[in-house]
Structure 1
């Protein structure tokens, strides 16, 4: 036997309320109940759109960072031996060509080439350029040190680190010399001749403690002259 679809709610209301109240409740709460209709795909707000785009960019950047190889740490470089000069390459004659390139590089920095060559090189005119120059390839000699056994050591600079200078000597030995409490001397050849003889080279001395920075970092450093009480 078929029943009306509203028979069940009416029967429940009749059991709890008088007939007049049950009929009023059914009319107000069931028949006239509003039905709210919302779109199935509402238009996203501008804030939600920006957040979605930001998350997409973050995901792309994260994916690129995982694919990009990370630089090796100092410990891994030491473990792989990347900071060591192979025994077969520890020969003085290999770096003599580097010294010739360095001599030309220093002559250009100090303005010793060409017709407009400087007559005099002074700390005020060329001190900053000289202090910030790259020393790889220079022939350096230790003239003062708190360790007497290092005095007189001479060789070509093969590595200039923050706290040490490594030299390759004429006996094909690599020596690491700390910059602290050490005075280094090097010469810059002057191109040309004077009275048929080669011009005398320019001789410079540097305090190792003032050079306790890496080569690229010295380019923007300001050097100041002051007394060194420990030498």
Structure 2
């Protein structure tokens, strides 16, 4: 008995549409990769580069009103900063601190300048200065000074260029040190000795001696003798001795500018 075969009817339009909708559509990138690579390699590249590709999201746009306000604030800050920088540049720069000065060695005497001969003219200038403030110049007739008149003058004088010698000190090794003052600080004298050495001597518990020579008036006497015969020529070898002073270093523990503007009174010193 032969089987009864019936022809299968063609699918209707609804069945065709349903089949096309359910079948997954191949991605165009996957189709192109399969043409250029093997199936396994194409699947790997498609999975890593397309499916698992990170999606970067842009943050939400800020409110335009808030953005405009922040711009105005930044402009005000920039304007104020520029004004501060311009005003600070026109004013004096900030002075260096004492620590910065020591680190930079601003007041250090270089080795090439530690020569006694360099400061010898400074000492001669200082001698003329101290004679002038004591009234011992050519015009002055004074040949002596007393403590009441010379004391306030000497204590407020500037000793840069003075030839000081240590006569008494608690440190015996400092006694006899002699040199020209090149730096007068608040608590020390810095001297350049005849051996071209710089010595730092504390003022406290130290007595210093210095001499003030009278001005050489030999030329003045020659001029006077040429004018008339009434002036008697001085004997050869006769020379006035210099004035010798001793100062207590403990009473000079001030900077030279501070001593010049300070008033001193005579009083008894218990250390004497």
Q: Mark yes or no: TM-score above 0.5.
A: yes
Q: Which of 158, 170, 180 is 2:204 aligned to?
A: 180
Gaps of 5+ in 2: 1-81, 218-233
> Number of aligned pairs?
173
- Asked if the contact 1:180/1:208 (under 8 Å) is kept, the reply is yes
2:187 corresponds to which residue?
Answer: 163
2:235 is the alignment partner of 1:212: no
Q: CA deviation at 1:76?
A: 1.2
Q: Which of 123, 128, 139 is 1:104 aligned to?
A: 128
TM-score normalised by length of structure 2? 0.59
Q: Which of 253, 257, 264 is 1:223 aligned to?
A: 264
1:137 corresponds to which residue?
Answer: 161
Q: SS at 2:168's partner residue?
A: strand
The CA distance in 2 between the partners of 1:61 and 1:125, in whole Å, is 54
The CA distance in 2 between the partners of 1:101 and 1:209, in whole Å, is 26
Q: SS at 2:181's partner residue?
A: strand
TM-score normalised by length of structure 1? 0.69
1:127 corresponds to which residue?
Answer: 151
Question: What CA deviation, in whole Å up to 9, does each residue of 1:161-193 have, x standing for no partner?
Answer: 000000111111101000010000011111145
Q: CA deviation at 1:202?
A: 0.7
Q: SS at 1:198's partner residue?
A: coil
2:13 corresponds to which residue?
Answer: none
Q: Which of 61, 64, 72 is 2:96 aligned to?
A: 72
The CA distance in 2 between the partners of 1:140 and 1:83, in whole Å, is 21
Who wins on radius of gyration, i.e. which is larger? 2
- Asked if the contact 2:138/2:215 (under 8 Å) is kept, the reply is no
Mean CA deviation greater in 143-152 or 217-226: 217-226
Q: CA deviation at 1:72?
A: 1.4
Instruction: Tell me how large the CA RMSD over aligned residues is.
Output: 2.1
- Asked if the contact 1:186/1:203 (under 8 Å) is kept, the reply is yes
